[in-house]
Structure 1
Amino acid sequence: MDLNADLGEGFGAWRLGDDDALLNVVTSANVACGFHAGDPSTMYRVCRLAVDKGVAVGAQVGYRDLAGFGRRRIDYDHDELRDDILYQIGALEAFCKVAGDRVRYVKPHGALYNTAAVDEGQASAVVAAVLAYDPALPVLCQPGSVLARHAAQKGLTVVGEGFADRGYLPDGRLVPRSRPDALVHDPDEVVTRVRRMAVDGAVVAVDGSVIACPVRSICLHGDTPGAVELARAVRAGLESEVDIQSF
């Protein structure tokens, strides 16, 4: 099982989360590429640290929305969204190359992630960008989503992702962040949830129903209070059940 986290999400003088500490826990780093968060110096630093620690670097691509942290849906022209994603992958690739590695996968961020999960047009734009850049790059996304289907139909490798600390709706989508039950705060409950995802391929939704959640990667959010301690607890809880390694 892979453990991933969104990293490099500061901007300029502002830092968000403890990238250095999380890089000692995760096996894959979703690095912000400058559109929803991140900047060249942050990308350089995080890529160097990740490569030094043997952590796979993925392009965390998002909307052009620094003010909203990429969490506001934007209606894009298909080709414009494709090109924005290509731009972000290429930018991160430069820093990976300098660090001695390359971009290993692509993961949409925030509102783009949620929109591409249900929207045919935006999902196809993400897939078009990956196909144009490197068809060998896996796409990290929710299993059963529109993006997962589009990517698989085009021959891309799809890596199903589960969320350690996010609530799930009965249809498998994430609970919107505007709702009070969007996040799971209890560390013991989080560990129990990820172990169930890893062993049984299932998760308990907010209404109590058990839904399928076949995943190869677990996302640990780095911008929540106590994120590092929670990440360590999740890794410890999983290590007795599965091997922890990048996909």
Structure 2
Amino acid sequence: MKKALLVTASLIALGATAPAVAADLAARPYTKAPPMVAAVYDWTGFYIGANGGWGSSRNSWDSVPPAFLVGPEGAHDATGGTIGGQVGYRWQAGTFVFGLEAQGNWADFSGSNLSQVFANSRNHTNVDAFGLFTGQVGYAVNNVLLYVKGGAAVTSNEYRISNLAGATIGVTGDDTRWGATVGAGLEYAFAPNWSVGVEYNHLFMQDRTYTFTTPGGAFLGTDRISQDVDLVTARLNYKFGGPAVARY
């Protein structure tokens, strides 16, 4: 009889304890879900890339002393394709992006015009290479970058004079001239470290005076040649380092 009473009392005690334990479990505090994390593209880092496109060089020729006939000979556009590469570094501060870049391209910009002073000759220009050394200031909207740029430019040129049959009658040899450039671009990061873009540059090149000689080395004439260049290129860049930062 005593054993039955003890078992009954134990069951009653367990029944009273179970609801209390359940109540304790139900009273656990609610944990708020962590906030959403937005990945914001970071343009900071070194990059290297390739570019290709089209260019046009405007060249004005003027015959000057000691040539025996002087005066404006006319102008022509030397146009063609270009391909090359670039390397640079950017650093981002908030939504602003600053950078430095060096670019080098092969080119084939060629053109000619009939001389307005020497009626039986044509003036030819060929731009076979150029380089740009620029600083950049840009504005980033996450993985889209708008920027302007400016700095120094250099072109490698070849000038010659031909007769109407196309035979060369005057040469100067290859020439390198320095000037300035300004430009603007749009770049889009389509993958963690890859971006594509399009860019325009205008090159202001200094006037130069050249002495032309015949293929045999005899004096032929002297011309002052002015030059500027317009470039439109598509670009592909690979950026080293982390592509994005997390912001809450």
Greater Rg over alpha carbons, structure: 2
State the TM bucket, normalised to the shorter chain.
Answer: under 0.3
Compute the TM-score of the two structures, normalised by the length of structure 1.
Answer: 0.22
